[in-house]
Amino acid sequence: MKIGVLIGSITGNTEHLGNQIIKKLQDLDGTLKFDTLMINQEMNKMNTTEQYEYPNYDAYVVGTYTDFLSIPILVRQYFEKMPPTHIKNKLVLTFSTHGFTTGHTGQALQQLLISMGAKPISHIVTKYPDNYVHLPFILPLYLKKVQKNSDPEFDSKCIQFVNTLKSGKFPEITTKYNSKNVSKDVQRQKKQVKDHFIVQDSCVGCGTCVENCPSAIISLKDGKAVFTEQDKCVGCYACFQKCPVNAVVDEKKTLVNKLQYKYDNSYIVEKPKSNFMFKAIIFVTFMMLTVMLLK
Ligand SMILES: Cc1cc2nc3c(=O)[nH]c(=O)nc-3n(C[C@H](O)[C@H](O)[C@H](O)COP(=O)(O)O)c2cc1C
Ligand code: SF4
Ligand code: SF4
């Protein structure tokens, strides 16, 4: 049995959780085969290849990060374009990651899949470090929080998925798809994308942003990234987060200090470019912590 693992992930958190789930499912049933697809790259292929073919699987594991309290537009778009026959009546285990608060990400993801006739069985949700955490020295504490906040029913949800898959008796779904919520989400997320991205001279022309832009609006010209048709930007921040030299910034340069981090066994923090405000925040927080410790 082949399972499609479809993941919307920008900085690696959701990919990390997805890999934990695959490992667990593999331990539970060694005969299961997995194929992992990253939704950003798939959307990019879709927009740059003449004929994109959606792969078809026996069952799915679908995960996303949280974008403005819900599922990101690009994840929604990926499923809305999927041929419904690929997912109709298929068992799905969903999962999501979030920073400050998950909002209704799990519910929105499940409702979207239900609207396509899928059979989502349960949802694994875990708090992860947020892309907006500015202070590197807080990150080890955050990581502890991740471990503490990992879904307590992680194991039982994976077992339930494997057992249901084997039994072939899928759940009856009663939840209705609420299109009003969907349009509210999309409008909120679109409102968010108010700043356009610009590329600084430090761009080394590596093409990482080009490969990861799901809207295919970045290309390389004379060895530098060029952003076109920015009104098609879905605000996923992949270009900004994945640039190895921090060359992508927004017009107002407010994002320049956001952290970029990766998850692969260890927690790697790539130091953001520093400015006065950033240093000031670190200094004040450091002083406050010192005072609290001395008390
Ligand atoms: C544009 C954007 C919006 C976000 N909105 C939320 C949010 O509303 N609530 C939340 O808890 N986390 C939010 N986050 C944080 C991410 O959901 C969280 O860090 C997630 O684990 C990132 O997953 P990834 O590493 O797989 O991309 C947002 C991140 C981005 C980039
Ligand atoms: S330009 Fe950047 S933020 Fe906009 S869709 Fe492309 S990768 Fe995402
Ligand atoms: S990822 Fe950064 S360095 Fe690489 S092409 Fe894009 S902007 Fe330039």
Per-residue pLDDT tens over the stretch 70-96: 999 999 999 999 999 999 999 999 999
The CA distance from 143 to 169, in Å, is 38
Pick the residue whose CA is nearest to atom 4 on ligand 2: 233
Q: Do 138 and 272 belong together in one domain?
A: no
Q: Do 171 and 282 belong together in one domain?
A: no
Ligand of minimum distance to the alpha carbon of 98:
1
Q: Do 260 and 132 belong together in one domain?
A: no
Is residue 47 in some structural domain? yes
Pick the residue whose CA is nearest to atom 6 on ligand 2: 213
- Is pLDDT larger for residue 244 or for residue 195? 244
Which CATH number do you get for residue 175?
Answer: 3.40.50.360
Q: Do 55 and 137 belong together in one domain?
A: yes
Q: Do 185 and 208 belong together in one domain?
A: no
Is residue 92 in some structural domain? yes
Q: Do 71 and 150 belong together in one domain?
A: yes
Q: Do 245 and 185 belong together in one domain?
A: no
Task: Supply the pLDDT for residue 2.
Answer: 97
State the pTM of this model.
Answer: 0.84
Contact 115, 87 (CB under 8 A): no
Q: By residue range, what is the domain housing residue 68?
A: 2-189
Q: Do 212 and 74 belong together in one domain?
A: no
The CA distance from 221 to 26, in Å, is 44
The pocket around ligand 2, CB under 6 angstroms, is made up of 197, 212-215, 217-218, 227, 233-239
Is residue 194 in some structural domain? no
Contact 218, 227 (CB under 8 A): yes
Structural domain ending residue among the three candidates 170, 189, 208: 189
Pick the residue whose CA is nearest to atom 8 on ligand 2: 236
Q: Do 182 and 203 belong together in one domain?
A: no
Strand partners for 220: 225
User: How many domains does the chain fold into?
Assistant: 2
pLDDT-derived band at 263 (thresholds 50, 70, 90) equals very low
pLDDT-derived band at 186 (thresholds 50, 70, 90) equals confident
Q: Which residues have a Cβ under 8 Å from the Cβ of 139 and sit 6 or more positions away?
A: 129, 133, 261, 267, 269
Structural domain ending residue among the three candidates 189, 219, 238: 189
Q: Do 63 and 184 belong together in one domain?
A: yes
Structural domain ending residue among the three candidates 130, 159, 189: 189
Between the CA of 140 and the centroid of ligand 1 the distance, in Å, is 18
Per-residue pLDDT tens over the stretch 122-162: 999 998 876 655 455 666 666 666 666 688 899 999 999 99
Between the CA of 295 and the centroid of ligand 1 the distance, in Å, is 35
Between the CA of 132 and the centroid of ligand 1 the distance, in Å, is 8
